[in-house]
Homo-oligomer: A and B are copies of this chain.
């Protein structure tokens, strides 16, 4: 076969020359209202899966639908190439469209809207999340085949139809189908760029420990006139426990919490100093001005590379209109920890429970309820796939690609690591203003075009020895 690097320029030219056809295919997929959470749209979900299967089959993949308890999976293979094997994951299902009256155009009739800055928005439900993004990869493969007759690396694709519904069928499917899907690296295109000019690869995902605690004191709600003063108040106690979780410097006051916390790799720390990021702008976007996390850490660190404790919900006593002089019997809180590389979710959960138990006075009891736990995930900062992808993105966008962390967890990445032993590179071209999950979702034409071109370059780079 042709040398991939040499061929890449021709493939890129083909992408540009055939962009209208690529767009038309995306628009055909966007017209299928594959809303996974609404049972009435089950047939449309299957139709979207079938559209993808047929498109991939026509392009040259061996593609099939795989039935699950829910919506079907699409699996496609082309392992003819000599090079390494990549697994590309995306999802063909979309969010519901309510409230419909806030849409300026039909969510399932894509339109191209030219913006004052010259950008074109492809507006439709799923344009960005995730049909537009997954088609960047599909179109890159098509262009490779059109120009060179083959793909530069072995490619497997996996598209699910339940991502917006919590992916209930995914883990069982990975368990059944693992060896067929296992590749050298997984690629996911469901994330944002660093900013409109700067591509990014997310290589760090924080883990999560979710926990619900309920504190009980008296065996019934009490009148604060009759018992106030003598009766233990579980809301007071819960407040004191929550307060005890945080040091004045913003760090988490849980014994051993930072014992296993890895510092940011030096090359990433260095890069973050160079990358454009404004603490002020980031916080101002939500009405804040001062970072509230650990003193001495940047906002980027606070939200991606440092672990946290958060109260996510709290309730107890009388919370309706007016006033009721009650001392509640029970008080509840939902709390969570975001974990970073090195921290063990089970150990953190146990440390938290011990922290709470140690602060319970007489007459107070507690019950705990676990709401999921997953470790942080990090792709080695010096891995060969990462470095090649960084180079490819840099070449396409004309500036250094960011090595980014995501503050939240993306369950599929953990599943690939645990169940298939694969690292994942998250390479997405969405913008923060794409309004995913909201009315008037859009995907920039630049994201689509340069996203396809980026994958052309990434695959070429991976094929290189």
Contact = CB atoms under 8 A, between A and B. Distances in A.
Nearest to A238: B239
A336 B239 contact: no
Nearest to A218: B286
Contacts of A240: 239, 242-243, 246
Interface in A276-322: 282-283, 286-294, 299, 302-303, 306, 308, 310-319, 322
A32 interface: no
Contact of A408 (B223, B232, B338): B223
Interface in A241-279: 242-246
A230 interface: yes
Interface in A341-399: 361-363, 371-372
A68 interface: no
A220 interface: yes
A69 interface: no
Chain B CB within 10 Å — which of A224, A235, A243, A318 has the most?
A224
A236 to B, nearest CB: 5
Contact of A319 (B289, B332, B371): B332
A212 interface: yes
A362 to B, nearest CB: 4
A420 interface: no
A326 B313 contact: yes
Given A217-B288, A218-B286, A219-B287, A313 B328 contact: yes
Contacts of A409: 225
Contacts of A222: 286
Contacts of A242: 235-236, 239-240, 243
A189 interface: no
Contacts of A79: none
Given A217-B288, A230-B283, A409-B225, A327 B303 contact: no
B230 A303 contact: yes
A440 interface: no
B310 A314 contact: no
A324 B316 contact: no
B363 A314 contact: no
Interface string A396-421: 00000000001111000000000000
A227 interface: yes
Contacts of A225: 206, 208, 338, 406-409
Contact of A210 (B212, B223, B244, B325): B325
Contacts of A325: 208, 210, 310, 312, 336, 408
A456 interface: no
Nearest to A298: B230
Chain B CB within 10 Å — which of A229, A317, A322, A372 has the most?
A229
A228 interface: yes
A313 B332 CA distance: 11
28 contacts: A208-B325, A210-B325, A218-B288, A219-B287, A223-B407, A224-B308, A224-B407, A224-B408, A225-B408, A226-B303, A228-B303, A228-B336, A229-B308, A230-B283, A233-B292, A233-B311, A235-B314, A236-B245, A289-B362, A290-B362, A292-B363, A311-B316, A312-B318, A312-B324, A312-B326, A314-B315, A315-B316, A324-B334
Given A225-B406, A229-B292, A236-B243, 11 more contacts: A224-B408, A225-B338, A230-B293, A231-B286, A232-B292, A236-B310, A289-B363, A312-B328, A314-B331, A315-B319, A323-B371
